Structure 1
Amino acid sequence: MDSLRNPYTPNAGATPEIVAGRLEHTRAFEVLLQRLMRGRTEQSMIMTGLRGVGKTVLLNEFADLGRAARWEIVELEASKHDDGQFRQTMASLLRSALLQMSPRKRWGGRARQAAEVLTSFGMSVTQNGTWSVSWDVEPAEGLGDHGDLALDLTDVLVAVGRAAQDQERGVAILVDEVQFLRSAQLEALIQALHKTVQRKLPITFVGAGLPQIAELAGDAKSYAERLFRFPEIGSLDEDDAREALIRPAELEDATYSGEAVELALEITKGYPYFIQELGYQAWEIAPGPQITADDVDAAREGYLAKLDRSFFRVRLDRATALQTAYLRAMAELGPSAQKASDVARVLRRESTQLGPTRAELIDMGLLYTPEHGYAAFTVPDFDQFMLRAVPQLVIPEVRRRQRRETDGADA
């Protein structure tokens, strides 16, 4: 069929033509904004799930909903920045939000105070010891300048929240890849949000990340479980998966046979990104206007090749030989969460020897820990990819430390 009319969007974070099965989450976000604007409190949310289940798509949907409700949207993809870089990024984004809500020439007392607190928060010491600020607003005294990220960010969000309240507006901070925030940064966001909740200000923080986020948030602040809901975003149920596959084609006057749908759902297991990729490949192959089971079966090879080349491979390419062996050993044991001792047995090592490797893979976002002593892949079907990409398990030799010879003979 015509490639220009292909309705599927297998791109990272791209919103598909039909967002199926996520109505409860978008509705919860709308309720959150509406309650905050009424001066009531409501739990914010941090969505958790594997790669490819549509967390980023949902954040984009939230951003659109927020803008439609006249909220200022602060969007951030977390990365492993130090606290100084994080501070500067937040200062810049919140400054922009303040100016969008209240142009400088119309600043009232609360907007000006928010600007002054942002100046204090965004100040940094350069290498030669001088202060640098990002705009010509005098810093506030005693606010946003404690030198403690959590205290300073709290001052900022309270000040910006008050300014938003004056304008009958709100600010939503949407953070993707939350697991890459440093613990101090996550703690600062949670602590600052806690204070805005106490003051009933129209400001919220909504995040998305890998499954370990709920635990990380709880470790950062014990009251996080009361501030947030932690909805788990997973594969679509059968009805929603059917809708995600069929409806985009129908918008372009194409259909699927019943057998084609069943085969597609069997291959993709209901994962939203996989549905988009298989749908895209099947569209390219099918003569149309009906996509048949033969078309889907013929598309399978291109579908796997594309996933291997992009979705999977970019993650494996960052791994060392030992990290690759660890992932391959896990794949040999199966797709479910694997006990550290079992992986070590496959690699003919002790668990303690492989502890650092396992921790590195978790830090890289390739594994997560669903329970103590276990690790699981963060990407659906990654075990099958590892078996294809590394047909033979190669176990690196143990590197033994060489003894350093001491100078001179025995004393």
Structure 2
Amino acid sequence: MSNPYTPNAGASPDIIVGRDEQTKAFRTLLRRLARGRTHQSMIVTGLRGVGKTVLLNEFAEIARAERWEILEFEASKHDDTKFRQTMASLLKAALLRLSPRARWTERAKRAASVISSFALSVDQQGTWSLAWDVEAAEGHADHGDLGLDLTDVLVAVGEMAQERERGVAILIDEVQFLSTRQLEALIQGIHKTVQRRLPVTFVGAGLPQIAELAGDAKSYAERLFQFPKIDSLDDEDAREALTEPAAGEEVAYDSDAVDLAVEITQGYPYFLQELGYQVWETAEKSPITRVDVESAREGYEAKLDASFFRVRLDRATPLQTAYMRAMAELGPNAQKASEVARVMNRESTQLGPTRAELIDMGLLYTPEHGFAAFTVPDFDKFMLRAVPTLVIPEVQKRRPKSKKS
């Protein structure tokens, strides 16, 4: 029998449980916009491993079933030029799917011209293009300002989609890696489409700090978006996430085996998939017992350490590693910057840049002012295993400038 568990980043499990509230809210969003009504867009927040990407993929399937066009990509630390290129390419493809070129109406032609203008502003030297012979629209999406240009193009595409009785959903994963200017431009563009009652929405997924970043980018973001937070599954949903895939293969779990699995994983979806996978490889018959789960635990922790956790630690400098190790020594909760500095025998001001770097890398987030927490569940335990001793690098002292004679 094939292993029914999928411990891969963003891979959808056989069943998605515990996210009915979010999928219902997304359906409501699409249907209200389709009727010409306004509704808040969404940015889903949560730690690593809680299923944000899986949920975003589910949103894409829902939108396709509702006959919406999907623009989806994973954000990364690209400059504005790369962001513009990505958006222009996706908008062109969406426009052509909404209507074949041979059947373009005046609104469709105008939308195409505005997209060309938006693309041309990326590179006026012509070293990059959309590879279609549509003349750019003068005075639209050619301001040289990302916010104004993106607003023009979203309105033009939204008007064309509305004419076709369709909609456009922009789905972006890892939203926290958008630059402030890029996030601000998206928010500004969506704000205008809301004012025009156009069927365009931006739905993202990101780490917990994105709600604060969105508010910093535009003060009205909190009124424009919902920020649903997803976390570990409750006991009932966690049990279902573990047992239902096995039941599909006619394999059962003893209740105490499920109890132990939920205790080990704390209900985190990714951890449940990884433990389920290891248990499936270990168990020899049905029903799966508590002993089977215990036997799989070592392999489960080793797999998480080698991939899910290690890939994040390997990106850190020695000082960043020491900062996270000091946090882990203080426990799993959010830690005060001054307390971490005390453990490292440093001043908070000395470590401020290191803390900011870790936040920028997506390894830490700030649940409240002055505190930081890991973005990955159980990362504190991993740090204690992986770095048994706290080693604090020496501060490199600057050499005094030599005096000229």
Which TM-score band applies after superposition, normalised by the shorter structure? over 0.9
Using the size of structure 1 for normalisation, the TM-score is 0.97
Measure, in 1, the Cα distance between the counterparts of 2:123 and 2:338. Answer: 48
Query: Deviation at 1:262?
Result: 0.5
Using the size of structure 2 for normalisation, the TM-score is 0.98
SS of equivalent residue, structure 1 residue 404 = coil
Measure, in 2, the Cα distance between the counterparts of 1:308 and 1:22. Answer: 27
Report whether the alignment pairs 1:261 with 2:258.
yes
Report whether the alignment pairs 1:37 with 2:41.
no
* 2:136 matched residue in structure 1: 139
Any stretches of 5+ residues in structure 1 without a counterpart?
A: none
Any stretches of 5+ residues in structure 2 without a counterpart?
A: none
Measure, in 2, the Cα distance between the counterparts of 1:398 and 1:178. Answer: 34
Report whether the alignment pairs 1:27 with 2:24.
yes
Report whether the alignment pairs 1:350 with 2:347.
yes
Please tell me whether the aligned partners of residues 81 and 122 of structure 2 are also in contact (alpha carbons under 8 angstroms).
no
* 2:173 matched residue in structure 1: 176
* 2:279 matched residue in structure 1: 282
Please tell me whether the aligned partners of residues 120 and 126 of structure 2 are also in contact (alpha carbons under 8 angstroms).
no
Please tell me whether the aligned partners of residues 285 and 298 of structure 1 are also in contact (alpha carbons under 8 angstroms).
yes
Query: Deviation at 1:397?
Result: 1.1
**Root mean square deviation, CA, Å:** 1.0
* 2:115 matched residue in structure 1: 118
1:312-363, Cα deviation, whole Å (9 max, x unpaired): 0000001000000001000000010000011011111111110110010001
Flag the 1:130–1:244 CA change in 2: closer, same or farther, 3 A.
closer
Query: Deviation at 1:289?
Result: 1.6
Query: Which AA in structure 2 matches 1:210?
Result: L
Please tell me whether the aligned partners of residues 76 and 175 of structure 1 are also in contact (alpha carbons under 8 angstroms).
yes
Measure, in 2, the Cα distance between the counterparts of 1:197 and 1:260. Answer: 50
Query: Deviation at 1:399?
Result: 1.4
* 2:364 matched residue in structure 1: 367
Flag the 1:160–1:256 CA change in 2: closer, same or farther, 3 A.
same
Measure, in 2, the Cα distance between the counterparts of 1:180 and 1:279. Answer: 31
Give the alignment of 1:40-119 within 5 angstroms: 40-119=37-116
Count of aligned positions = 404
SS of equivalent residue, structure 1 residue 76 = strand
Measure, in 1, the Cα distance between the counterparts of 2:122 and 2:273. Answer: 47
Measure, in 1, the Cα distance between the counterparts of 2:348 and 2:259. Answer: 42
Measure, in 2, the Cα distance between the counterparts of 1:15 and 1:132. Answer: 35
Q: Calculate percent identity across the aligned residue pairs.
A: 73
Flag the 1:69–1:402 CA change in 2: closer, same or farther, 3 A.
same
Measure, in 2, the Cα distance between the counterparts of 1:162 and 1:338. Answer: 48
Query: Which AA in structure 1 matches 2:129?
Result: V
Measure, in 2, the Cα distance between the counterparts of 1:68 and 1:131. Answer: 38
Give the alignment of 1:267-346 within 5 angstroms: 267-346=264-343
1:266-295, Cα deviation, whole Å (9 max, x unpaired): 000000000000000001000122110000
* 1:217 matched residue in structure 2: 214
Query: Deviation at 1:124?
Result: 4.1
Query: Deviation at 1:398?
Result: 1.8
Please tell me whether the aligned partners of residues 125 and 131 of structure 1 are also in contact (alpha carbons under 8 angstroms).
no
Report whether the alignment pairs 1:159 with 2:169.
no
Query: Deviation at 1:42?
Result: 0.9
Flag the 1:136–1:287 CA change in 2: closer, same or farther, 3 A.
same
SS of equivalent residue, structure 2 residue 137 = coil
> Which residue, out of 182, 199, 202, partners 1:202?
199
* 1:238 matched residue in structure 2: 235
SS of equivalent residue, structure 2 residue 71 = strand
